[in-house]
Copies of this chain bind each other. A is one copy, B any other.
Amino acid sequence: MIKVSIIGTGKVGTHLIKACINSPMVQLVEIYNRSLEGLELYKGLTPTTTVLKDLKKADIYIVALPDDVIKTLDLSHLSGLIVHTAGTKSFKILNAPRRGVFYPAQSFSKEKKINFKGVPVCIETEFVGDYGVLQNFAHMIAQNVYELSEDKRQKLHLAAVFANNFSNRIMGIAYDLCKEHKIDFQILQPLLQETFLKTQILPPKVAQTGPALRNDIQTIEKHLNQLKGTDKEVYQILTKSIQEDHGIKL
Protein backbone atom coordinates (compact mmCIF):
# COMPACT_ATOMS: atom_id res chain seq x y z
CA MET A 1 0.00 0.00 0.00
CA ILE A 2 1.17 3.47 -0.84
CA LYS A 3 -0.02 6.43 1.24
CA VAL A 4 -1.20 9.42 -0.79
CA SER A 5 -2.68 12.80 0.12
CA ILE A 6 -4.38 15.12 -2.36
CA ILE A 7 -3.91 18.88 -1.99
CA GLY A 8 -6.78 20.67 -3.74
CA THR A 9 -10.27 19.58 -4.78
CA GLY A 10 -10.61 21.31 -8.16
CA LYS A 11 -11.13 19.42 -11.43
CA VAL A 12 -7.79 17.55 -11.42
CA GLY A 13 -7.88 16.98 -7.63
CA THR A 14 -11.39 15.52 -7.80
CA HIS A 15 -10.39 13.07 -10.54
CA LEU A 16 -7.26 12.07 -8.59
CA ILE A 17 -9.28 11.46 -5.42
CA LYS A 18 -11.62 9.14 -7.34
CA ALA A 19 -8.67 7.34 -8.96
CA CYS A 20 -7.01 6.81 -5.55
CA ILE A 21 -10.23 5.54 -3.98
CA ASN A 22 -10.71 3.12 -6.89
CA SER A 23 -7.21 1.65 -6.59
CA PRO A 24 -6.86 -1.18 -4.02
CA MET A 25 -3.12 -0.45 -3.83
CA VAL A 26 -3.51 3.19 -2.76
CA GLN A 27 -4.43 4.43 0.70
CA LEU A 28 -5.90 7.92 0.48
CA VAL A 29 -4.55 9.44 3.71
CA GLU A 30 -6.05 12.90 3.58
CA ILE A 31 -7.57 15.63 1.42
CA TYR A 32 -6.62 19.28 1.81
CA ASN A 33 -8.48 22.29 0.50
CA ARG A 34 -8.23 26.00 1.32
CA SER A 35 -11.95 26.24 2.02
CA LEU A 36 -14.23 23.91 4.00
CA GLU A 37 -16.70 24.07 1.13
CA GLY A 38 -14.36 22.20 -1.19
CA LEU A 39 -14.11 19.39 1.37
CA GLU A 40 -17.84 18.96 2.00
CA LEU A 41 -18.16 16.06 -0.44
CA TYR A 42 -15.42 14.02 1.21
CA LYS A 43 -16.38 14.24 4.88
CA GLY A 44 -16.92 10.81 6.35
CA LEU A 45 -15.04 9.25 3.45
CA THR A 46 -11.50 10.24 4.41
CA PRO A 47 -9.77 12.72 6.79
CA THR A 48 -9.80 16.30 5.52
CA THR A 49 -8.05 19.52 6.54
CA THR A 50 -7.78 23.21 5.65
CA VAL A 51 -4.44 23.64 7.46
CA LEU A 52 -1.25 22.70 5.59
CA LYS A 53 0.75 22.58 8.86
CA ASP A 54 -1.55 19.77 10.10
CA LEU A 55 -1.08 17.47 7.09
CA LYS A 56 -0.61 13.85 8.14
CA LYS A 57 2.36 11.75 7.07
CA ALA A 58 2.08 10.33 3.55
CA ASP A 59 4.42 8.84 0.94
CA ILE A 60 3.25 11.22 -1.80
CA TYR A 61 1.40 14.55 -1.68
CA ILE A 62 -0.16 15.62 -4.97
CA VAL A 63 -0.65 19.37 -5.27
CA ALA A 64 -3.50 19.93 -7.75
CA LEU A 65 -3.85 23.70 -7.45
CA PRO A 66 -3.56 26.67 -9.84
CA ASP A 67 0.05 27.39 -10.89
CA ASP A 68 0.25 30.73 -9.09
CA VAL A 69 -1.11 29.24 -5.85
CA ILE A 70 1.44 26.39 -5.82
CA LYS A 71 4.42 28.69 -5.31
CA THR A 72 2.81 30.40 -2.31
CA LEU A 73 2.51 27.15 -0.32
CA ASP A 74 4.98 26.32 2.44
CA LEU A 75 5.43 22.55 2.33
CA SER A 76 8.98 22.56 3.72
CA HIS A 77 7.96 20.61 6.85
CA LEU A 78 6.82 17.54 4.89
CA SER A 79 9.20 14.59 4.53
CA GLY A 80 7.19 12.82 1.78
CA LEU A 81 7.52 13.36 -1.97
CA ILE A 82 5.61 16.45 -3.15
CA VAL A 83 4.48 16.62 -6.79
CA HIS A 84 2.39 19.12 -8.69
CA THR A 85 0.16 18.46 -11.71
CA ALA A 86 1.00 21.49 -13.87
CA GLY A 87 2.05 21.00 -17.49
CA THR A 88 4.15 24.12 -17.85
CA LYS A 89 5.88 24.55 -14.49
CA SER A 90 9.14 23.19 -13.06
CA PHE A 91 9.03 21.18 -9.84
CA LYS A 92 11.17 24.04 -8.51
CA ILE A 93 8.07 26.15 -7.86
CA LEU A 94 7.29 23.77 -4.98
CA ASN A 95 8.65 24.89 -1.63
CA ALA A 96 9.46 21.37 -0.39
CA PRO A 97 12.50 19.14 0.22
CA ARG A 98 11.60 16.28 -2.20
CA ARG A 99 9.90 17.40 -5.39
CA GLY A 100 8.46 16.10 -8.64
CA VAL A 101 5.76 16.42 -11.29
CA PHE A 102 2.71 14.23 -11.96
CA TYR A 103 1.13 15.69 -15.10
CA PRO A 104 -2.00 13.99 -16.44
CA ALA A 105 -2.19 14.81 -20.18
CA GLN A 106 -5.94 15.11 -20.30
CA SER A 107 -8.56 17.86 -20.17
CA PHE A 108 -10.85 17.41 -17.18
CA SER A 109 -14.25 19.00 -16.87
CA LYS A 110 -16.91 18.76 -14.21
CA GLU A 111 -19.57 17.99 -16.83
CA LYS A 112 -18.03 14.72 -18.03
CA LYS A 113 -16.74 11.62 -16.23
CA ILE A 114 -13.42 10.16 -17.22
CA ASN A 115 -11.72 6.86 -16.50
CA PHE A 116 -8.36 7.82 -15.02
CA LYS A 117 -6.91 4.43 -16.04
CA GLY A 118 -6.78 5.70 -19.64
CA VAL A 119 -5.18 9.05 -18.85
CA PRO A 120 -1.50 9.23 -19.92
CA VAL A 121 0.56 10.38 -16.95
CA CYS A 122 3.89 12.19 -17.42
CA ILE A 123 6.20 12.06 -14.41
CA GLU A 124 9.50 13.58 -13.32
CA THR A 125 11.33 13.77 -9.98
CA GLU A 126 14.11 16.00 -8.69
CA PHE A 127 16.02 13.07 -7.16
CA VAL A 128 16.61 9.77 -8.97
CA GLY A 129 15.83 7.93 -5.73
CA ASP A 130 12.26 9.27 -5.75
CA TYR A 131 11.46 8.22 -9.30
CA GLY A 132 10.59 4.61 -8.45
CA VAL A 133 8.05 5.63 -5.78
CA LEU A 134 6.25 8.02 -8.13
CA GLN A 135 6.35 5.54 -11.00
CA ASN A 136 4.89 2.75 -8.84
CA PHE A 137 2.08 4.99 -7.68
CA ALA A 138 1.37 6.24 -11.24
CA HIS A 139 1.01 2.64 -12.46
CA MET A 140 -1.48 1.94 -9.67
CA ILE A 141 -3.97 4.46 -11.05
CA ALA A 142 -3.05 4.79 -14.75
CA GLN A 143 -2.10 2.41 -17.56
CA ASN A 144 0.30 4.61 -19.50
CA VAL A 145 3.08 6.32 -17.59
CA TYR A 146 5.79 8.34 -19.34
CA GLU A 147 9.04 9.77 -17.95
CA LEU A 148 9.18 13.29 -19.36
CA SER A 149 11.74 16.02 -18.68
CA GLU A 150 10.53 19.54 -17.94
CA ASP A 151 11.41 20.74 -21.43
CA LYS A 152 9.54 17.92 -23.16
CA ARG A 153 6.56 18.27 -20.82
CA GLN A 154 6.31 21.95 -21.74
CA LYS A 155 6.36 21.11 -25.44
CA LEU A 156 3.73 18.41 -24.86
CA HIS A 157 1.57 20.92 -23.01
CA LEU A 158 1.91 23.34 -25.92
CA ALA A 159 0.94 20.56 -28.37
CA ALA A 160 -2.03 19.73 -26.10
CA VAL A 161 -3.23 23.34 -26.30
CA PHE A 162 -3.43 22.93 -30.08
CA ALA A 163 -4.88 19.40 -29.97
CA ASN A 164 -7.53 20.22 -27.39
CA ASN A 165 -8.16 23.95 -26.75
CA PHE A 166 -7.67 25.16 -30.30
CA SER A 167 -9.34 22.28 -32.12
CA ASN A 168 -12.28 22.74 -29.71
CA ARG A 169 -12.50 26.42 -30.67
CA ILE A 170 -12.35 25.50 -34.37
CA MET A 171 -15.28 23.14 -33.81
CA GLY A 172 -16.96 25.99 -31.94
CA ILE A 173 -16.76 28.18 -35.04
CA ALA A 174 -18.32 25.34 -37.08
CA TYR A 175 -21.00 24.95 -34.40
CA ASP A 176 -21.78 28.68 -34.40
CA LEU A 177 -22.01 28.79 -38.22
CA CYS A 178 -24.55 25.95 -38.12
CA LYS A 179 -26.52 27.58 -35.32
CA GLU A 180 -26.57 30.99 -37.02
CA HIS A 181 -27.91 29.47 -40.24
CA LYS A 182 -30.30 27.01 -38.54
CA ILE A 183 -28.44 23.92 -39.75
CA ASP A 184 -28.48 20.79 -37.57
CA PHE A 185 -24.92 20.44 -36.12
CA GLN A 186 -25.55 16.66 -36.04
CA ILE A 187 -24.96 16.63 -39.81
CA LEU A 188 -21.28 17.29 -39.06
CA GLN A 189 -20.85 14.58 -36.40
CA PRO A 190 -19.79 11.75 -38.77
CA LEU A 191 -17.26 14.14 -40.33
CA LEU A 192 -15.90 15.07 -36.90
CA GLN A 193 -15.66 11.39 -35.99
CA GLU A 194 -13.83 10.61 -39.23
CA THR A 195 -11.44 13.54 -38.65
CA PHE A 196 -10.61 12.20 -35.19
CA LEU A 197 -10.35 8.54 -36.28
CA LYS A 198 -7.91 9.47 -39.04
CA THR A 199 -5.46 10.93 -36.50
CA GLN A 200 -5.19 7.41 -35.09
CA ILE A 201 -4.10 5.82 -38.36
CA LEU A 202 -2.61 8.59 -40.50
CA PRO A 203 -0.26 11.54 -39.88
CA PRO A 204 -2.46 14.69 -40.15
CA LYS A 205 -0.42 15.88 -43.15
CA VAL A 206 -1.45 12.78 -45.12
CA ALA A 207 -5.09 13.11 -44.00
CA GLN A 208 -5.33 16.76 -45.09
CA THR A 209 -8.05 17.61 -47.64
CA GLY A 210 -10.01 20.72 -48.62
CA PRO A 211 -9.88 23.92 -50.68
CA ALA A 212 -6.60 25.16 -49.12
CA LEU A 213 -4.79 21.94 -50.08
CA ARG A 214 -6.30 21.97 -53.59
CA ASN A 215 -5.44 25.69 -53.81
CA ASP A 216 -9.07 26.16 -54.92
CA ILE A 217 -8.94 29.97 -54.93
CA GLN A 218 -12.55 30.39 -56.06
CA THR A 219 -13.93 28.43 -53.08
CA ILE A 220 -11.51 30.10 -50.66
CA GLU A 221 -12.68 33.55 -51.87
CA LYS A 222 -16.32 32.49 -51.60
CA HIS A 223 -15.74 31.26 -48.03
CA LEU A 224 -13.92 34.44 -47.01
CA ASN A 225 -16.82 36.53 -48.31
CA GLN A 226 -19.14 34.64 -45.96
CA LEU A 227 -16.98 35.30 -42.89
CA LYS A 228 -16.15 38.37 -40.86
CA GLY A 229 -14.01 39.49 -37.93
CA THR A 230 -11.82 36.95 -36.17
CA ASP A 231 -13.48 33.95 -37.88
CA LYS A 232 -12.23 35.35 -41.18
CA GLU A 233 -8.72 35.78 -39.78
CA VAL A 234 -8.79 32.18 -38.48
CA TYR A 235 -9.79 30.99 -41.98
CA GLN A 236 -6.99 33.00 -43.59
CA ILE A 237 -4.24 31.93 -41.23
CA LEU A 238 -5.17 28.24 -41.30
CA THR A 239 -5.39 28.28 -45.09
CA LYS A 240 -1.88 29.78 -45.10
CA SER A 241 -0.72 27.17 -42.58
CA ILE A 242 -2.01 24.27 -44.71
CA GLN A 243 -0.52 25.71 -47.89
CA GLU A 244 2.88 26.35 -46.31
CA ASP A 245 2.89 22.83 -44.86
CA HIS A 246 2.32 21.40 -48.33
CA GLY A 247 4.67 23.79 -50.14
CA ILE A 248 1.84 25.49 -52.07
CA LYS A 249 2.78 28.95 -53.35
CA LEU A 250 0.23 31.59 -52.30
Contacts and interface: CB of A to CB of B under 8 A. Distances in A.
A238 interface: yes
Interface of A: 67-68, 88, 105-107, 109, 111-112, 114, 118-120, 122, 144, 146, 148, 151-152, 154-156, 158-175, 177-178, 180-184, 186-213, 216, 218-219, 222-223, 226-227, 229-231, 233-235, 237-238, 240-242, 244-245
B190 A118 contact: yes
Chain multiplicity (copies): 2
A contacts with B: majority SS: helix
Contacts of A154: 222, 226
A183 B152 contact: yes
A106 B194 contact: yes
Contacts of A227: 158
B168 A208 contact: yes
A183 to B, nearest CB: 5
Most chain B CB within a 10 A radius of its CB, from A158, A194, A231, A241: A158
A195 B164 contact: yes
B230 A169 contact: no
B241 A237 contact: no
Given A170-B163, A196-B196, A237 B233 contact: yes
